[in-house]
Chain A
């Protein structure tokens, strides 16, 4: 029974590692960390192939952050074609419900079963191709989306791992703890905790203010015996970069078919990202993640 193939496992056969980015709390920076993770993994080697899947169905942020807002998804005989953030290079594939909406302000008002079906389609119908890493950005909480993801990917469970994002406040840490309990219940290996929004540097005098307190993520990691991957301060440069990333809105919808222009734009996003201070802080985090992935997965294979 365990060797039974499902459309999802067939599709995910060529994906080496799946990293689920989660946090119990909303607005702690799951999507921006996912985007950074994808960009950094993409930059880690000239041949790395990365996918990013946004399963936050009622609040998709990834398209805007990667400057892909307004793109549509194309059908092919082999399934849905993901939107490539780097154009012709096609090493950064992206899929989100945001690409399926007719109008960007349309609300997706769905109950659980419909969300479940959509997630299954994202996993089984998207032509991801061969990927080194698939980063999955999740909505806040521990509910339908999370359960569906694990259910549909049960056959590739030994390739799954999670990164937990939190901010230093007690309120956020409490939800992060719930998220950690969730990963333990479903035996999902945790690569580590990232503390986001840890301090803010005043652009005027350079003083560091702990807007949302500090150190809580590291304490939690120590207490719970989970690796602490690092802290990322509030980086206004990054906020602006991910916020204002130029979309293809207003332009011809077939923009993605014009590789040159798209590639150039995305190249700019990557180049600008790599100039931010967050990119430097993210690099050691990504190195740790790339280093521990094989270890975590090999231990997962031995029950």
Chain B
């Protein structure tokens, strides 16, 4: 006889609890359990109770789920739009190029998930099974999880405050059936706030192998990246190195290289020196990188001759070397 097991339900991020009254203020609201609409709701007591919570009950489950994941790498940057998601995707594709290497990508940018588009799987959905939510597979050995798969339409905005975002991140770690992985890459949103603190807190026990910090050459980006490195030091995450993106642009007309984002303060090289970190490499700005991301194809496979591909591959080799996996 087959045992009937209860699948873990995939939540709809836009809804309030299914049994909530009509004007439910939302379980994360300050009025939860206290507003007029809450009178008579079955969950009122839970919402209204302010009892301090003990250690997160999810932690043991996360530890168990993560015990089959060999390496966990964060991709960070204080600044937005410097190419975190693009780099994460290339890194994922490069790892997965080896058929025997199992790779996972987890997108914790809840308000602006780009990973599904960049990997060309934007219209996929998450399925649930008895062993948890099944990631979306780009290829046999590259599984992806992102909030983008859970929205009815890509137009929908997720307007969540911190605690709700943290809840979803914990579920990504606890309820997703990652299986046995050689690498789990975590793509983060810009800044140093809830998402970053949560991922670090949840993975503390299982251990984070390191963080790759992405930047662009101009000072306005570098100052945010310095803050991100300061954050890594505060929470005790090893920084594997710094990647400089969008460095130099070769005009397709006259082949002259010019600096769109001028390294007025010495760029990533100076930053790495000042902070005592390794500069893993500089990737030139190639408009085809952005195009590939828009169309959801692998830049490394599409344009193997581009100088940017060489730069990417060198960086990825260096990361493997630092991790001792080369």
Give chain A's interface residues, CB within 8 Å of chain B: 24-28, 31-32, 56-59, 61, 64-65, 104-113, 115, 139-144, 146-147, 167, 169-172, 174-175, 177-182, 185-186, 200, 202-205, 207, 209-213, 234, 236, 239-240, 242-244
What are 13 A-B pairs at a CB distance below 8 A?
A26-B79, A59-B80, A112-B162, A142-B111, A143-B161, A167-B81, A170-B294, A174-B114, A181-B156, A210-B287, A211-B287, A213-B291, A240-B264
| Residues in B neighbouring A143, C-beta threshold 8 A | 110-111, 159-162, 165
Q: How far is the CA of A109 from the CA of B192 in the complex (A)?
A: 5
Quick check: is B191 within 8 A (CB to CB) of the other chain? yes
Q: Which of A105, A112, A202 contacts B256 (CB 8 A)?
A: A202
Tell me the smallest distance from the CB of A130 to a CB of chain B, in Å.
Answer: 31
| Residues in B neighbouring A172, C-beta threshold 8 A | 81
Quick check: is B197 within 8 A (CB to CB) of the other chain? yes
Q: Given A25-B112, A171-B118, A205 and B256 touching (CB < 8 A)?
A: yes
| Residues in B neighbouring A213, C-beta threshold 8 A | 287, 290-291, 294
Quick check: is B226 within 8 A (CB to CB) of the other chain? yes
| Residue interface mask B159-174, A partner, CB < 8 A = 1 | 1111101000000000
Determine whether the beta carbon of A174 is less than 8 Å from that of B154.
yes
Among B157, B160, B258, B260, find the residue whose CB has the most chain A CB atoms closer than 10 A: B157
Tell me the smallest distance from the CB of B153 to a CB of chain A, in Å.
Answer: 9
| Residues in B neighbouring A234, C-beta threshold 8 A | 260
Tell me the smallest distance from the CB of B247 to a CB of chain A, in Å.
Answer: 13
Q: Which of A139, A141, A209 contacts B251 (CB 8 A)?
A: A209
Q: How far is the CA of A219 from the CA of B249 in the complex (A)?
A: 27
Tell me the smallest distance from the CB of B299 to a CB of chain A, in Å.
Answer: 13
Determine whether the beta carbon of A177 is less than 8 Å from that of B155.
yes
Q: How far is the CA of A236 from the CA of B217 in the complex (A)?
A: 12
Chain B interface residue count, Cβ-Cβ cutoff 8 angstroms: 64
Contacts A27-B80, A170-B293 known; list 16 others, CB within 8 Å. A25-B80, A26-B79, A26-B190, A28-B81, A107-B227, A140-B189, A141-B111, A167-B81, A169-B294, A178-B156, A181-B155, A186-B159, A205-B251, A209-B252, A240-B264, A243-B262
In the complex, the chain B residue whose C-beta lies closest to that of A116 is B161
Tell me the smallest distance from the CB of B25 to a CB of chain A, in Å.
Answer: 12
| Residues in B neighbouring A212, C-beta threshold 8 A | 287, 290
Q: How far is the CA of A31 from the CA of B197 in the complex (A)?
A: 25
Docked complex: B73-89 residues within 8 A CB-CB of A: 78-82, 85
Among B178-186, B202-210, B228-236, B301-309, the stretch that binds chain A is B228-236
Determine whether the beta carbon of A182 is less than 8 Å from that of B221.
no
Q: How far is the CA of A257 from the CA of B82 in the complex (A)?
A: 37
Tell me the smallest distance from the CB of A296 to a CB of chain B, in Å.
Answer: 21
| Residues in B neighbouring A146, C-beta threshold 8 A | 159
Determine whether the beta carbon of A207 is less than 8 Å from that of B254.
yes
Which 9 residue pairs of A and B lie closest in terms of their CB atoms, listed nearest first?
A26-B80, A27-B81, A112-B162, A141-B111, A207-B253, A170-B294, A58-B191, A202-B251, A205-B254
Q: Which of B112, B165, B262 contacts A236 (CB 8 A)?
A: B262
Determine whether the beta carbon of B223 is less than 8 Å from that of A204.
no
In the complex, the chain A residue whose C-beta lies closest to that of B154 is A174
Q: Given A107-B231, A142-B111, A115 and B193 touching (CB < 8 A)?
A: yes
Q: How far is the CA of A118 from the CA of B85 in the complex (A)?
A: 29
Q: Which of B226, B253, B293 contacts A105 (CB 8 A)?
A: B226
Q: Given A108-B227, A212-B290, A243-B264, A204 and B193 touching (CB < 8 A)?
A: no
Q: How far is the CA of A172 from the CA of B81 in the complex (A)?
A: 9
Q: How far is the CA of A61 from the CA of B221 in the complex (A)?
A: 9
Among B117, B155, B193, B251, find the residue whose CB has the most chain A CB atoms closer than 10 A: B193
Quick check: is B106 within 8 A (CB to CB) of the other chain? no
Determine whether the beta carbon of A58 is less than 8 Å from that of B157.
no
Determine whether the beta carbon of A236 is less than 8 Å from that of B191.
no
Q: How far is the CA of A175 from the CA of B197 in the complex (A)?
A: 23
Determine whether the beta carbon of B159 is less than 8 Å from that of A142.
yes
Tell me the smallest distance from the CB of A113 to a CB of chain B, in Å.
Answer: 7
Tell me the smallest distance from the CB of A202 to a CB of chain B, in Å.
Answer: 4
| Residues in A neighbouring B224, C-beta threshold 8 A | 59, 61
Q: How far is the CA of A92 from the CA of B162 in the complex (A)?
A: 33
Q: How far is the CA of A204 from the CA of B254 in the complex (A)?
A: 8
In the complex, the chain B residue whose C-beta lies closest to that of A210 is B287
Tell me the smallest distance from the CB of B87 to a CB of chain A, in Å.
Answer: 13
Determine whether the beta carbon of B260 is less than 8 Å from that of A211.
yes
In the complex, the chain B residue whose C-beta lies closest to that of A183 is B157
Tell me the smallest distance from the CB of B44 to a CB of chain A, in Å.
Answer: 22
Determine whether the beta carbon of A27 is less than 8 Å from that of B155.
no
Tell me the smallest distance from the CB of A146 to a CB of chain B, in Å.
Answer: 7
